[in-house]
Structure 1
Amino acid sequence: MRLLRPFLVLLLTVWLSACGWQLRGATQTPSLDTVTLKGASAQLRYPLEDKLEDEGVLVHNESPYILVIEDEDWSRRTAAVDDQGRQAEIELRYQIVWHLESRDSGALLTAPKRLMALRSFAWYPDNATASSDEEQLVREDLYDDIIVRLINQLAAATQGWEVN
């Protein structure tokens, strides 16, 4: 019995690491020294720049690599109604399409990829101020989620590249 417990802990640890699980918000580091951002809204661009720089990727306009945000799209819909037919739950969907290209040749270094994040939250018609504040917090959470996933995809796309 004494040997079984450490063995189970070791087995669970190996299994958990093998499944690809990682903490939410944990990012991988892209194999780039620098990158230029093009096409992102200010709400996406500035936190993305900060997160990239935290990962050791300098963001400036003379990089040999350009991270292009081709499209950003927000959609908002009623996910549930109350017994009076009023909105009771809102669903926000945020998606982007991105690719990486070479500054010198303009060639695509990655195919365009779509990222989508979705959140629902309660909407209280009798307290519109609090509900709109909640919506703003959910939007910020969606930006954060997309940024982490974008950096992870960028890291996976540049894995094995020689750093320039």
Structure 2
Amino acid sequence: MIKRNLLVMGLAVLLSACGFQLRGTGTNELSVKEMDVSARNAYGPTLVQLREVLQRSGVNVHTGAPYRLVLTNEQENSRSASYAGGNATAEYELTTTLNYSILGLNNLELLSDKVEVRKTYVRDGGNITGSDQEAQRAREEMRRNLVQAMVSRLQMLTPSQLDELQAKADARAKAEAEALEAARRQQAETPQQSPMEIPGK
């Protein structure tokens, strides 16, 4: 028993030395220490879980942070993956796609992308209730995987990268504002033609 415990502890130390970390332990810290996180559904499970994982990872999630992660759209889809006898569906492939944007100062978009997870589960035509419960469990696991994938994306960002993206976004916004102002001035300086008057006969 003692030998087995020592073996388990030795493996745990070895894995941690290799950089392996248990999913959901919140030991992966992010370089960005402040971020606001929002979504259309302010109480959605994906948003709630993501906030919790970020906070456990050392991120101060609060309104007014210099950067804001916006979950713009979350879509769940399913399709038949294989069939049993009599054309009854035996397997379903579930897909969840999460679109997101990161906004900086002046609400300028710094980047936008998406993460996607897939999972296949078996649907038993003779046990509809059990199959529905299995589908629900699959969706819950997928949501956890989706949140971890989102956190992994955020871990690749550094404050310097976000500062660079902010500078590019500021330059784009300035160029667009100058072009709009130039077009407005040109329109104001262009003489407006008066309606042509046709002399009476």
Q: Where do 1:48-127 residues align within 5 Å?
A: 48-102=50-104, 104-109=105-110, 111-127=111-127
Contact 1:89 1:120 in 2 (8 A): yes
CA distance in 1, matches of 2:157, 2:139: 27
Structure 1 gap ranges (5+)? 1-12
Q: Is the 8 A contact 1:29 1:152 kept in 2?
A: no
Aligned to 1:37: 37
Q: 1:93 to 1:24 in 2, by over 3 A?
A: farther
Equivalences for residues 141-152 of structure 1 within 5 A: 141-152=141-152
- Give the distance between the partners of 2:86 and 2:62, measured in 1 at CA: 53
Distance in 2 of aligned mates of 1:152 and 1:89: 29
Structure 1 position 160, deviation (Å): 5.0
Which of 13, 21, 25 is matched with 2:23 structurally? 25
Aligned to 2:129: 129
Distance 1:25 1:106 in 2: 32
Distance 1:134 1:159 in 2: 41
Percent identity between matched residues is: 20
8 Å CA contact 1:31–1:160 kept in 2: the answer is no
> 2:32·2:159 contact (CA, 8 Å) conserved in 1?
no
Q: How far did residue 56 of structure 1 move?
A: 1.1
Count the aligned residue pairs: 143
More strand by share: 1
In structure 2, the residue matched to 1:6 is none
Q: TM-score, normalised by structure 2?
A: 0.64
Aligned-pair CA distance for 1:142: 0.9
Task: Find the residue that maps to 2:98 and give its secondary structure.
Answer: strand
Structure 2 unmatched ranges of 5 or more: 1-13, 163-201
Is the helix fraction higher in 1 or 2?
Answer: 2
